Homo-oligomer: A and B are copies of this chain.
Amino acid sequence: MFKQITIIGFGLIGSSLARAIIEKKLAETIVCVDKDQEVCNKVLAMGLADDATTDPALGVEGSELVVLCTPVGAMQKVAQQMGRSLQKGAIVSDVGSVKTSVIKALQPLLPSHVHLIPAHPIAGTEFSGPEHGFAELFINRWCILTPQAHTELKAIEKLTQLWEACGSNVEIMDPEHHDLVLGITSHLPHLIAYTIVGTATDLEDDIKSEVVKFSASGFRDFTRIAASDPTMWRDVFLNNKEAVLEMLQRFTEDLTALQKAIRKGDGEYLYNHFSETRDIRRAIIDAGQAEYVYPEDDDADTEAAA
């Protein structure tokens, strides 16, 4: 499909993409770029790339596709370094969780003869690093592309084919809209999870050990998403500030209303609110995005115990 693909940043996503490309034979050559020489060595030793370098300018030479898999905050610097070395007609893409700010950061630094097509594969685990990647990570996951109005259709098609070959379902979206939707489905939930786990971390030591012991009663679900990569999430919140703060504002208002109902002992308000939220779960199950799970699947962090 491609003669040469460069992947910049070999963490969980970058290394998983490399594995999927190798498994599906989507490129003749994969070049690894990572600022960490040790990671470069590891990637070569694991056979995840044909060549590896810490220098983006060197690494992108001759590649038809360059995918930035670094944290969002590092992308601008990478673009500065590699910009002039990009070959004519190359596709530049990324895997960042925010899209508007990525476009704003990259667009001015790229030569006009390349195609910038930002992408966001909605996939991951709470583990970071190239050793945790796996080729199946993207199977049945969404991958959202946010091309601009002037982007060449043929380039969009080519990138679509790559992600579909990795097993993803590709969706085209406006970057602002992407940031709003992910703000509520992903960024706000992560912020909330980080907060509640942080609140527990600050508890007195004796209670903290019991929180760990009895975590299966609800808390545990939050700890998994609050164990995600801190650098990545710092950059998400710095780069999707407006959408996150807007959704957080709504959340806080709703939380205050529930708090007031608890304080006043307003059982009717609580009951009505708790009934409405069941519908969304049902819609998610109907949409094939979740299934009924028995709580004895212990490995799966799944029970809604009380």
Chain A contact residues, CB within 8 Å of chain B? 73, 97, 122-127, 134, 136-137, 139-142, 144, 180-182, 184-203, 207-208, 210-228, 230-238, 241, 244-245, 247-248, 250-252, 254-255, 258-259, 262-263, 265, 267, 270-271, 273-284, 287, 289-306
- Subset of 22 A-B contacts with CB under 8 Å: A122-B305, A123-B305, A125-B293, A125-B294, A181-B214, A182-B217, A184-B199, A186-B219, A186-B305, A187-B218, A189-B218, A194-B274, A199-B250, A199-B251, A215-B287, A215-B290, A220-B290, A221-B221, A223-B290, A241-B263, A291-B299, A301-B301
A271 partner, pick from B234, B262, B274, B299, beta carbons under 8 A: B234
Q: Which 3 A-B residue pairs are closest in the complex by CB-CB distance?
A: A300-B300, A230-B274, A186-B217
Interface SS of chain A: helix
**Complex CA distance for A145 and B79, rounded to whole angstroms:** 60
Q: Are B212 and A289 in contact (CB under 8 A)?
A: yes
**Complex CA distance for A168 and B214, rounded to whole angstroms:** 13
**Complex CA distance for A193 and B278, rounded to whole angstroms:** 11
Q: Are B188 and A124 in contact (CB under 8 A)?
A: no
Q: Are A231 and B295 in contact (CB under 8 A)?
A: no
Q: A124-B295, A230-B274 are in contact. Are A196 and B201 (CB under 8 A)?
A: no
Q: Could you list 5 further interchain pairs (A-B, Cβ under 8 angstroms) beyond the known A124-B305, A134-B294?
A: A122-B216, A198-B273, A208-B280, A248-B259, A302-B302
Residues of B within 8 Å of A214, CB to CB, are 122, 142, 144, 181-182, 185-186
Q: Are B281 and A199 in contact (CB under 8 A)?
A: no
Residues of B within 8 Å of A224, CB to CB, are 221, 281, 290, 293, 302, 304
**Complex CA distance for A254 and B301, rounded to whole angstroms:** 25
Residues of B within 8 Å of A282, CB to CB, are 227
Q: Are B277 and A262 in contact (CB under 8 A)?
A: no
Residues of B within 8 Å of A291, CB to CB, are 298-299
Nearest chain B residue, comparing its CB with the CB of A268: B234
Q: Are A185 and B295 in contact (CB under 8 A)?
A: no
Q: Are B238 and A265 in contact (CB under 8 A)?
A: yes
Q: A248-B259, A290-B223 are in contact. Are A200 and B280 (CB under 8 A)?
A: yes
Residues of B within 8 Å of A292, CB to CB, are 127
**Complex CA distance for A265 and B186, rounded to whole angstroms:** 19
